[in-house]
């Protein structure tokens, strides 16, 4: 068994800002690490712990430990091998003030990420993110990772700060309604390119059924594989004080994985990116939204 000894080294000013990279449908940026090639990193608030692509782990001959089976959003058969990634640097160490944030000895089980609809080398999850405050600027396509001692980032007058709860380790919002149906808790998932995804029980409450004329069947992918997903556009979603119109809602057709649990709902990047700025502060258990 590999012990988690992940260490985060903050830059002198306590924060670094990195440019987002493709695919823009999820929260991705570039980083440097061993091997001499830029790495594509997925910043995923819906994953715990972090992960490394198994092909990269083999290429770098990373130290490994035991193997096992975990679960993903729609799968209960995600095979993994414990691994430690020696170092990962986000931001530029050559910029004035040495603005890079460095993660050392990152505990990141090795998974087969080849089935994802986009290429990713490293996934940064809760085990790292819980030590940070995230500010996503969708207009500037940038992400700021800050030490929580710097305080909660300023939100403009048209924005709102909402309390966060946690579904297991995933940040969640409790003030969500879809066409008047109240959703008790919805996780914020920057690793999902959907707008909102619900489990089969909530799908039934919302009338999201495969045999409806206005429902489409599409393919969904995630850790451990994918499957059929039903999708329908709903007229109105209320998130706190904000009302958003014409929102696609997805639901997997199986009860497997995380979405097999009762009352599961997940807010993905397609909805989050309708805002100008999103702040997720794990330590203060607050989220900020600027329209």
pLDDT digits (tens, 9 = 90+) for 189-244: 999 999 999 998 999 999 998 888 899 988 766 555 567 899 999 999 999 999 99
Percent of the chain surpassing pLDDT 70: 91
Instruction: Give the per-residue pLDDT at 74.
Output: 47
For the cut 90, the answer to whether the pLDDT of residue 255 exceeds it is no
Mean pLDDT for 130-146 is: 97
DSSP 67-133: EEEE--SS-S-EEEEEEEEEEEEES-TTSTT---EEEEEEE--EE--TTSSS--SEEE-HHHHTT-E
Residue 66 three-state SS: strand
Beta bridge partners of 81: 67, 110
> Fold identical between 7-149 and 160-290?
yes
pLDDT digits (tens, 9 = 90+) for 45-93: 998 899 999 999 999 999 888 877 765 554 555 677 999 999 999 987 6
Instruction: Give the per-residue pLDDT at 222.
Output: 59
Q: What superfamily would CATH give domain 160-290?
A: Acid Proteases (2.40.70.10)
Residue 162 three-state SS: strand
The residue extents of the domains of the chain are 7-149, 160-290
Report cis status (omega within 30 of 0) of the bond before 143. no
For the cut 50, the answer to whether the pLDDT of residue 114 exceeds it is yes
DSSP 233-251: EEEEEEETTEEEEEEEEEE
| Burial (Cβ within 10 Å: 0-12, 13-18, ≥19) of residue 262 | exposed
Instruction: Give the per-residue pLDDT at 223.
Output: 57
pTM across the whole model: 0.92
Q: Which residues of 9-45 are buried (b: 16+ CB within 10 A; e: fewer)?
A: ebbeeebbbbebeebeebbbbebbbeeeeebbbbbbb
DSSP 21-56: -S-TTS-EEEEB-TTSS-EEEEE-TT-SS-EEEHHH
For the cut 70, the answer to whether the pLDDT of residue 259 exceeds it is yes
Q: Are strands 142-146 and 15-19 parallel, antiparallel or unpaired?
A: antiparallel
Mean pLDDT for 106-130 is: 92
Using the 8-state DSSP alphabet, how is residue 154 labeled? Answer: P
Contacts 24+ apart (CB under 8 A), 61-67: 62/86, 62/110, 63/2, 64/2, 64/110, 65/1, 65/2, 66/1, 66/2
pLDDT digits (tens, 9 = 90+) for 83-112: 999 999 998 766 555 589 999 999 999 999
Supply 231's token pair: 């999708």
Q: Give the fold, CATH level 3, of 7-149.
A: Cathepsin D, subunit A; domain 1 (2.40.70)
């Amino acid at each position: 068994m590999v012990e988690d000894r992940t260490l985060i080294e903050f830059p002198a000013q306590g924060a670094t800002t990195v440019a987002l990279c493709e695919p823009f449908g999820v929260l991705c940026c570039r980083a440097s690490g061993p091997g001499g090639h830029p790495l594509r990193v997925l910043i995923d608030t819906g994953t715990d712990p972090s992960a490394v692509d198994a092909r990269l782990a083999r290429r770098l001959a990373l130290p490994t430990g035991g193997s096992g089976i975990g679960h993903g959003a729609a799968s209960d058969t995600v095979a993994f091998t414990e691994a430690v990634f020696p170092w990962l640097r986000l931001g530029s160490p050559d910029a004035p003030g040495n603005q890079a944030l460095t993660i050392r000895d990152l505990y990141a089980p090795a998974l087969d990420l080849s089935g994802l609809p986009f290429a990713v080398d490293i996934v940064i999850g809760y085990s790292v993110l819980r030590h940070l405050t995230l500010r996503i600027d969708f207009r500037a396509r940038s992400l700021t990772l800050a030490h929580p001692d710097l305080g909660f980032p300023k939100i403009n007058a048209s924005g709102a700060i909402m309390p966060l709860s946690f579904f297991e380790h995933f940040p969640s919002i409790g003030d969500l309604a879809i066409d008047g149906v109240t959703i008790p808790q919805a996780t914020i998932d920057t690793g999902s390119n959907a707008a909102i995804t619900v489990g089969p029980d909530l799908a039934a409450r919302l009338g999201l059924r495969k045999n409806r004329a206005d429902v489409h069947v599409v393919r969904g992918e995630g850790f451990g594989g994918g499957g059929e997903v039903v999708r329908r556009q709903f007229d109105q979603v209320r998130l706190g004080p904000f009302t958003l119109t014409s929102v696609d809602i997805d639901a997997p057709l199986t009860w497997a994985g995380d979405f097999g649990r009762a009352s599961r709902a997940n807010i993905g990047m397609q909805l989050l990116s309708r805002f100008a700025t999103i702040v997720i502060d794990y330590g203060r258990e607050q989220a900020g939204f600027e329209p």
